[in-house]
Amino acid sequence: MREGTELKRTLSLFQVVMLGLAWNTPMIYFSVFGVAFEGASGFLTPAYAVAVLAVLFTGASYAVMARKLPISGSAYTFVKKAMNPNLGFIVGWVLLLNYLFAPIIACITFGIFLNAQFPSIPPYVWIIALTLLLATISILGVNSSANISAVFVMLQIIFIIVFCAFMIHGLLNGGGSGTLLSFQPFLDSDLSLSLVLAGASIVIFSFLGFDTMTTLSEETKDPKRTIPKAIFIMIAIVGSLHVTTSYFIQLIVPTFTFVNPDSAALELVGLVGGSLLSSLFITVLIAAIFTQGLASVTAVSRLLYVMGRDSILPSRFFGYIHPKFKTPVLNIVFTSIVSLLAIVITIDAALRFVNFGALTAFFFVNLCVITLYFKDKQKQKSFSLKQGLVHLISPLVGAVFIIWLLALLDIPTLIGGFVWITIGLIYLGFLTNRFKRPLPDSGTEEITIQSHKDPQAV
């Protein structure tokens, strides 16, 4: 690697977790509440519990690969090194859908909410302002992003805790079911497996932020230990918040109904905490959107950097690191320009790209762990039961679940995703002279895949 182009290792475990939570956005629970509530027919608690269980399998696969390959690039790098460079390119190409459209979603929702508060100012003004602010902070350095993200993430967590405290206070004073301990949210007579799975297929998108943490491997201290820990900590925090909140909602307002799914969360917060909590809710939600946008710009700029460094994308542009700020400045500028599509694109269209890209990447990361299991098994005479569970059974369960989720996506989403893949295949054919030569590489192949004998391996 050329001198002066390396990313700087400065991130601690706490900062990585905060950046993952920032991208994931704990307040996304309220952003999708109406749609999730309808999809789960009101049974949010078991839906979120099943979603957490499902995400743990794929999260475990990411943890395995993060230990074996502590390189930025997420699923793109994992598939390229563990399976096949051409396949890795296609997975990275699809993953770009997830990463490029994540900041677009943040910009769209930021414009919508602030326009609602200040109707005289059109949404595009807020979108442009947010884009410029996110670019400036991202350029200054990943530490700036992490520290700012930490403040706003903690604000979101505090709000959710306060919201739960209001519900607990209501239950203690005879509201709702009048009890804090009940199996009703899990064992309702109207509850069925199909309802739980339908709800889980929607709310699982509240847990996708752990993928972005693997893009920070080359800026993280001791990434082989830090990144896997950060993945499980983030899943534990988000899972605990969402399951607990859902549990108390089903107890305090067991017959809750709403008129508009988009405003269902605001109706719920007003019902539980009145106008004061509603005002606080809007403030925290806007802050959460800002934080998610910041984490998204940070993540996509790192993925573009790795693909540029590998000469998959033009290296002079996408592989450039600013000598002073040690950040991929040109990628941040490029991402910011793309984010301006928020002015003309709908949030539904952006979400479709994010969902397809994320689920495709998750599927192939699970396959990476399975592939390495069989490769290493050929080199070793015996494997322990723990190795079989972690490196074969767990990723297999994760892959099957992701296939099921992909099958639940609507036809327009699948068509759009496969059109994007087709464009990627055409570009791949150009890079490889119609598949007659290998893809260019950055020269980082000396970072080899470690065997299961590595004491740090999961």
Q: What is the pLDDT of residue 145?
A: 65
Tens digits of residue pLDDT in 216-231: 788 888 888 899 999 9
Percent over 90 (pLDDT), the chain: 31
pLDDT level of residue 25 (50, 70, 90 thresholds): confident
Distance CA 80, CA 99 (A): 18
Angle formed at CA 433 by CA 431 and CA 435, multiple of 5 degrees? 90
pTM: 0.81
- The reported pLDDT for the residue numbered 4 is 45
- Of the listed ranges 2-11, 141-150, 247-256, 318-327, the one predicted with least confidence: 2-11
Print burial letters for 226-244: b (CB count within 10 Å at least 16), e (below 16). bbbebbbbbbebbbebbbb
If 0-12 CB within 10 Å is exposed, 13-18 middle and 19+ buried, where does residue 433 land? exposed
φ, ψ for residue 220, nearest 5 deg: -110, 140
Region 9-15: mean pLDDT is 85
Instruction: Quickly state the pLDDT bin for 449 (edges 50, 70, 90).
Output: very low
pLDDT at 443 over 90: no
pLDDT score of 446: 41
Whether the predicted pLDDT of 412 surpasses 90: no
Q: Residue range 354-367: average pLDDT?
A: 88
Q: What is the pLDDT of residue 310?
A: 84
Phi and psi based region of residue 122 (left: phi greater than 0; alpha: psi -120 to 50; beta: remaining): beta
Say what the pLDDT of residue 378 is. 67
**Which residue's structure tokens are 């505090």?**
158
Residue 127 predicted with pLDDT over 90:
yes
Q: Is residue 203 a contact partner of residue 242, using CB atoms and an 8 Å limit? A: yes
pLDDT of residue 182: 86
Give me the chain's average pLDDT, please: 84
Three-state helix/strand/coil letters over the chain: CCCCCCCCCCECHHHHHHHHHHHHCCCHHHHCHHHHHHHCCCCHHHHHHHHHHHHHHHHHHHHHHHHHCCCCCHHHHHHHHHCCHHHHHHHHHHHHHHHHHHHHHHHHHHHHHHHHHCCCCCHHHHHHHHHHHHHHHHHHCHHHHHHHHHHHHHHHHHHHHHHHHHHHHHHHCCCCCCCCCCCHHHHCCCCCHHHHHHHHHHHHHHHCCHHHHHHHHHHECCHHHHHHHHHHHHHHHHHHHHHHHHHHHHHHCCCCCCCCHHHHHHHHHHHHHHHHHHHHHHHHHHHHHHHHHHHHHHHHHHHHHHHHHCCCCCHHHHCCCCCCCCCCHHHHHHHHHHHHHHHCCCHHHHHHHHHHHHHHHHHHHHHHHHHHHHHHHHHCCCCCHHHHHHHHHHHHHHHHHHHHHHHCCCHHHHHHHHHHHHHHHHHHHHHCCCCCCCCCCCCCCCCCCCCCCCCCCC
Number of other CB atoms surrounding residue 222 within 10 Å? 13
Q: Which of 111-120, 130-139, 389-398 bottoms out in mean pLDDT, i.e. has the lowest?
A: 111-120
Contacts of 248 (CB under 8 A, 6+ apart): 164, 167, 168, 171
pLDDT of residue 97: 84
pLDDT of residue 35: 78
Overall average pLDDT of the 61-87 stretch: 87
Q: Taking a C-beta distance cutoff of 8 angstroms, is the pair 298, 142 a contact? A: yes
Q: What is the pLDDT of residue 181?
A: 85
For the segment 34-47, the average pLDDT, to the nearest whole number, is 85
Higher local confidence (pLDDT), 29 or 376: 29
Which amino acid type is present at position 359? L
What is the model's pLDDT at position 2? 43
* Confidence check: pLDDT of 445 > 70: no
Name the percent of the chain lying above pLDDT 70: 90
Average pLDDT of the residues in 144-168: 87
Q: Band of the pLDDT at 93, cuts 50, 70, 90? A: very high
User: So what's the pLDDT on residue 259?
Assistant: 77
- Per the listing, tokens 């502590």 go with 70
**What pLDDT, on a 0 to 100 scale, did the predictor assign at position 162?**
95
For 234-290, write each residue's pLDDT tens digit: 999 999 999 999 999 999 998 888 877 767 888 899 899 988 898 899 889 888 888
Which domains are seen in the chain, by residue range? 13-431 (1.20.1740.10)
